[in-house]
Amino acid sequence: MFRRTSHDRSILVLAIPAFVALIAEPLYVLTDTAIVGHISTEALAGLAVAAAILLTVYSMLIFLAYGTTGIVGRLLGSGQQQDAAAQGIQAVWLAIFLGAAATAGIALFSGLLVDLFEPSSLVRRQALTYLRISLVGLIGQLIVMGGTGYLRGLQDTRTPLVVALTGALTNLGLELVLVFVFDLGIAGSAWSTVIAQWLCACAYVRVIFKASSKLQASIWPNFRRLVRYATVGLHLFIRTSALRASFLLAAALAARKGTTELAAHQIGIEVWSLLALGLDSVAIAGQALIAKFLGASQVATAKAVSRRMIGLSIQIGCVGGAVLLAARSPIAKLFTNDVAVAELTGFLLIFVALTQPLNALVFGIDGILIGAGDLRFLAWAMISTFAGYAGIALATANFGMGWLWACLVALMIFRGGAVWARFTQGGWIRVGAD
């Protein structure tokens, strides 16, 4: 598990470009934040509200990427290239259908959604401007997610890397012009992102339709495939919703403890999320490779690659945790000038650092099980994990921040125990295209 193997190159060829692409994707939000922050404080607050709504929608529909990777990978492994291309087409159609429904729903209730954050009138106006314009690009962004999953299933993580970097740079250039040259304010920021999203979506549509034409796959919706896809998506939707609910509960409990506690908690979560990108890149390689090998009925290879990916993930987690533990105080000061917040953040980063090997185990096996299509188990395991974590978190709600983060550690222990038991028992191993 921890020694170099012949599978290392296959894993890293997928994982390294995936990691760079994962880094590139947050540049959309960072670019918008940096530029809108120079417009006004109200504009920045409005962006925060709108982004929270949009990112929640994207995370709930992440199965368009993860689910597609597993399905396409199995079809590729079983030699069904035409069906794999057809699945890419269905990913586009599902993105369009779900995107249209989500766009209509958010547009109809945009005012109510923004009001949940209780913004001032000026912030509300900015948030609604950004949110409503961004809805124009929502379908495009979902197509990007589906296209990314399709190419990952084909063992191609380089094209998503190129598309992600191109989109980020396009967004940056357009935003500078629209905001500072044409003085469009937060509307210019939103329109630049929409244009970049649709350019990336068109790139994926071109790749998918080219493959379907070459393999003579139908370009029309296949409702049998869409129903199958929706079943996969439902399980991933439940799993992701329960996971997000865990972190939302932690944020709510931190907010009850005070402004300093909430600020330190947010910094800790951001650092946790940044380190997760490295772990997620190995998980993405796991999704693609395991789906392919199980589709080809190569069980021994799938097991060997799985063990090595878990080992690589844990090694990355150990290195990241060690670096963070040694540099936690300077890192905390990068995020805040408030001495109290910095001191508390340094304390919370100890939890983040020490849990990285455990997080690595969870991410690694999560990717393997997603690639194997063991999604029903992941959904029920995450629901059970959330129930146990929520009970402990609420029971200790009046204790300090150390207790809250101990609950987050418990969350990862529960997840780790569940997926490790599933992995070692082999219930995830099912061969063939299905």
Q: What pLDDT, in 10s, does the model give residues 17-55?
A: 887 777 666 666 667 767 887 788 788 778 878 887 887
**CA 327 – CA 116 distance, rounded (Å):** 37
pLDDT one-digit tens code per residue, 250-280? 888 887 888 788 878 878 887 888 788 788 8
Least confident of 7-16, 84-93, 286-295: 7-16
Task: Map tokens 């948030």 to a residue.
Answer: 127
* 3-class secondary-structure state, position 372: coil
233 within a domain of the structure (yes/no):
no
Q: Is 420 exposed, middle or buried (0-12, 13-18, 19+ CB in 10 A)?
A: middle
**CA 89 – CA 317 distance, rounded (Å):** 36
DSSP per residue, 279-334: HHHHHHHHHHHHHHHHHTT-HHHHHHHHHHHHHHHHHHHHHHHHHHHHTHHHHHHH
250 within a domain of the structure (yes/no):
yes
231 within a domain of the structure (yes/no):
no
The alpha carbon of residue 262 and the mean position of all alpha carbons in its chain are separated, in whole angstroms, by 23
Least confident of 158-172, 273-287, 383-397: 273-287
Query: Do 133 and 246 share a domain, yes or no?
Result: no
pLDDT at 212 over 80: yes
Could you give the C-alpha distances from 374 to 26, 147, 202, 381, 431, in angstroms and in order? 28, 22, 31, 11, 12
The residue that leads in pLDDT, 337 or 63, is 63
Query: Do 430 and 284 share a domain, yes or no?
Result: yes
Angle at 198 between CA 276 and CA 142, to 5 degrees: 50
Query: Do 194 and 245 share a domain, yes or no?
Result: no
**CA 11 – CA 15 distance, rounded (Å):** 6
Query: Do 325 and 187 share a domain, yes or no?
Result: no
The reported pLDDT for the residue numbered 384 is: 95
Query: Do 96 and 198 share a domain, yes or no?
Result: yes
Q: What is the mean pLDDT of residues 145-156?
A: 92
pLDDT one-digit tens code per residue, 367-379? 999 989 898 999 9
User: pTM for the complete prediction?
Assistant: 0.84
**CA 32 – CA 117 distance, rounded (Å):** 20
Output the six-digit token pair for 355: 């849990």
Q: What is the mean pLDDT of residues 403-413?
A: 95
Q: What is the mean pLDDT of residues 420-428?
A: 93
Query: Do 275 and 172 share a domain, yes or no?
Result: no
Q: Are 353 and 410 in contact (CB under 8 A)?
A: no
Query: Do 338 and 377 share a domain, yes or no?
Result: yes
Query: Do 315 and 170 share a domain, yes or no?
Result: no
Question: For the chain, how many structural domains are there in total?
Answer: 2
**CA 329 – CA 345 distance, rounded (Å):** 8
Q: What is the DSSP letter of 3?
A: S
2 within a domain of the structure (yes/no):
no
Given 221, 250, 266, the domain boundary residue is 221
410 within a domain of the structure (yes/no):
yes
Domain hosting 60: range is: 10-221
Q: What is the mean pLDDT of residues 223-236?
A: 80
**CA 86 – CA 312 distance, rounded (Å):** 33
The reported pLDDT for the residue numbered 30 is: 62
The reported pLDDT for the residue numbered 408 is: 95
DSSP per residue, 140-200: HHHHHHHHHHHHHHTT--HHHHHHHHHHHHHHHHHHHIIIIIS--HHHHHHHHHHHHHHHH
Query: Do 183 and 81 share a domain, yes or no?
Result: yes
Q: What is the mean pLDDT of residues 321-332?
A: 91
Query: Do 201 and 297 share a domain, yes or no?
Result: no
126 within a domain of the structure (yes/no):
yes
H or E element, residue 336: none
**Residue 130: band (very low, low, confident or very high) from pLDDT cuts 50, 70, 90:** very high
The reported pLDDT for the residue numbered 2 is: 66
Query: Do 401 and 311 share a domain, yes or no?
Result: yes
Output the six-digit token pair for 196: 């970049």
234 within a domain of the structure (yes/no):
no
The residue that leads in pLDDT, 66 or 7, is 66
115 within a domain of the structure (yes/no):
yes
The residue that leads in pLDDT, 164 or 278, is 164
The reported pLDDT for the residue numbered 188 is: 94
Mean residue pLDDT across the chain: 88
Query: Do 246 and 203 share a domain, yes or no?
Result: no
pLDDT one-digit tens code per residue, 54-68? 878 888 888 888 888
